[in-house]
Amino acid sequence: MLIALLAPFSLLIAYVLHHVLSHQTLLLKQIFSQTIFNTIQLARLIGPLDPYDPLTVPDQVIPDSNSASEISEAQARANQRIDDARSIIDFSYAGPKIELEDRLRLRALANSRLVAAFGINTSLTSSSVSVHKKFRKLASASINKSRADWQKLYGVCMDFLQREKARYGRTGIGLAECVRCLCFVVVLVSQFGVDDKKVDKNLVKRITDGINAQWLKSKEDGEAVKTSDSLNHDLGMLFGNLKTSVAEENGTGKDTSIDPSEALGLIMPQYETLWRVVLLTYVTAYYTQYDKRSLKKRVKDIPSCLGNAATEKEALKLATEGLRLYPSNNSIYRAATGPGPLKSADVQACHRDFNVWGRDALEFRPERFDNLTPLQEKAYFPFSLGSHKCPAFGGFGNRMVTMLVVSMGRALSPETGKLNFEDAQLDNRVGIILPTGRDEMENWSWDMVRV
Ligand SMILES: *[C@@H]1O[C@H](CO)[C@@H](O)[C@H](O)[C@H]1NC(C)=O
Ligand SMILES: *[C@@H]1O[C@H](CO)[C@@H](O)[C@H](O)[C@H]1NC(C)=O
Ligand SMILES: *[C@@H]1O[C@H](CO)[C@@H](O)[C@H](O)[C@H]1NC(C)=O
Ligand SMILES: *[C@@H]1O[C@H](CO)[C@@H](O)[C@H](O)[C@H]1NC(C)=O
Ligand SMILES: *[C@@H]1O[C@H](CO)[C@@H](O)[C@H](O)[C@H]1NC(C)=O
């Protein structure tokens, strides 16, 4: 899904900034509404798990002594769990033929905590079919990046990281903060076409910190959480500055002002689905996996291969495997058709099931995607399923994750620095599965080593 969001947003930006601003305010409004709608879906993701949902209870590891029939029974149970998860994600749980309008309604369950935390008004367009269709169309167009675009974005990543390294390398780079700012800047460039040199890093840091704090607060205080004045102020400054730089180029700066909460609605879904998978995949691929030998060879043609289906295939398995272990959305939620709690499909559990992926299910092995069994194919859905699949599923998402991870791996490499988790459970261990909570990576740092 990571990229589900990217797509729509790219659209937004391109569309909004380059064409629509001065003429088509109405359309712009609709786009914003759609954005808000998507943000709300994002919000749904962090809702509480239903403890009675069978999908949230992981199956046991197959013990060595299991007989063949016990194994096949375990596989049959895994198969059932996967079918159940898929039926929630593709809406078939709600009936055989669900109309688009009903799907949108089932999907558009608001998470009032996040609405409260970010000032996003859910009541807008959440089940409007026409807005939805327009949005999908725009989204599909905006993720069509050329090979030159990918080269440019890779350059943006490397420039950003070299600056970070020069500034903080010797005192330690806080990885979570670094990756958040990197992803935020890349989304700004990719979607809004802004000049990364003009983006104020300190402002981006304050905004990404502010977003994180609001998410954490909304988990603690539930609906009592209020929008943050300082976050809105910072967003206003950022978009004020960006608006200016776009206006300079095309001379259309008049009515382009974007409300901070609308701006947040535009940026957050794609940025939020990217940063954790990028951080976790970077750390795993370059530091904690058992077998790092094949990594350099796999990614040697990044960035030039990006966008070339024939040569990018092996490199993209880095993202495919990263999204298996660390999917952007651990769970996908839908409304119950009658009264009752939300239905939740546990994506992460399906992606890590030992009965499906084997004993090395928790290991990072991109080569497992050389050859998937039918059950593995069925158990893998990082971009959702069916008609509401993330528009980025066809390659854009994998390219974005791979590009970001490889730029991290090269700029902050094991050859030039050391990773510190500041946690005895994690430091100096290999083959570990990393924690995925948004506040569980804050102490991780990368320190330059004098060679
Ligand atoms: C400026 O206008 C030109 C021509 O319409 C367009 O190609 C370009 O993308 C625009 N740039 C920005 C930043 O809006
Ligand atoms: C994951 O979350 C994003 C952000 O809310 C959402 O737009 C997307 O639909 C979710 N992904 C899936 C597969 O549902
Ligand atoms: C949300 O927007 C609608 C329509 O613009 C408005 O009527 C409603 O009062 C707003 N709700 C909140 C909570 O701001
Ligand atoms: C993507 O862009 C290229 C050139 O910019 C164009 O030829 C191609 O048709 C586009 N593909 C889609 C699916 O829009
Ligand atoms: C990070 O470090 C601080 C200070 O040492 C500690 O209180 C906190 O629990 C640590 N956080 C995590 C997630 O380990």
What does the pLDDT read at residue 238?
Answer: 85
Task: Say what the pLDDT of residue 407 is.
Answer: 98
Q: Which residue in 327, 330, 361 sits closest to 346, CA to CA?
A: 330
> Is any ligand 4 atom within 6 A of the Cβ of residue 137?
no
Q: Identify the pLDDT of residue 134.
A: 56
- Which of 253-257, 283-287, 319-323 is predicted with the least confidence, judged by mean pLDDT? 253-257
Say whether the peptide bond before residue 303 is cis (omega within 30 degrees of 0).
Answer: yes
Q: Which of 420, 423, 442 to mutate to test the pocket of ligand 5 (most atoms within 8 A of CB)?
A: 442
How far apart are the CA of 424 and the centre of ligand 5, in A?
Answer: 12
Contact indicator for 408, 161 with CB cutoff of 8 Å? yes
**Is residue 448 over pLDDT 50?**
yes
**Ligand 2 atom nearest 41 alpha carbon:** 5
Residue type, 400: M
Asked whether 344 and 350 are in contact (CB, 8 A), the reply is: no
CATH number at residue 239: 1.10.630
| CA 201 – CA 185 distance, rounded (Å) | 9
pLDDT band at 240 (very low <50, low <70, confident <90, very high): confident
Q: Quick check: 13 pLDDT over 50?
A: no
Q: How many domains does the chain have?
A: 1
| Across 77-91, average pLDDT | 92
Contact 329, 273 (CB under 8 A): yes
**What contacts 112, CB < 8 A, 6 or more positions away?**
122, 223
Residues counted in the chain = 451
Return the DSSP state at 285: I
Indicate if ligand 5 lies below 6 Å from the C-beta of 420: no
Secondary structure (DSSP) of 14-77:
IIIIIIITTT-HHHHHHHHHHHHHHHHHHHHHTSPP-TT-GGGSPPPPPPTT--HHHHHHHHHH
Q: What is the mean pLDDT of the chain?
A: 77
Q: What is the pLDDT of residue 22?
A: 39
Q: What is the pLDDT of residues 358-396, one digit of tens each?
A: 999 999 999 999 999 999 999 999 998 887 777 778 889
Expressed as residue numbers, the domain containing 24 is: 2-448
SS3 content of the chain, % helix, strand, coil (to 5): 60, 5, 35
The whole-angstrom distance between residue 396's C-alpha and the CA centroid of its chain comes to 12
Confidence tier at 32 by pLDDT (50, 70, 90): very low
Cis ω for the linkage preceding 391 (within 30 of 0): no
Of 26 and 133, the structure prediction assigns the larger pLDDT to 133
Provide the pLDDT confidence category of residue 426 given band limits of 50, 70 and 90.
confident
Atom of ligand 4 lying closest to residue 144 CA? 1
Q: How far apart are CA 372 and CA 381, in angstroms?
A: 13
> What digits encode the pLDDT tens for the residues 140-177?
656 778 899 999 999 999 999 999 999 988 889 999 99
Could you tell which of 32, 113, 121, 125 is best to mutate to test the pocket of ligand 3, judged by most ligand atoms within 8 Å of the CB? 121
> What does DSSP say about strands 445-448 and 343-346: parallel, antiparallel, or unpaired?
unpaired
The answer on pLDDT for 77 being more than 70 is yes
Q: Which pLDDT does position 265 carry in this prediction?
A: 65
* Binding site membership of 144 for ligand 4 (Cβ less than 6 Å): yes
Quick one: pLDDT at residue 45?
37
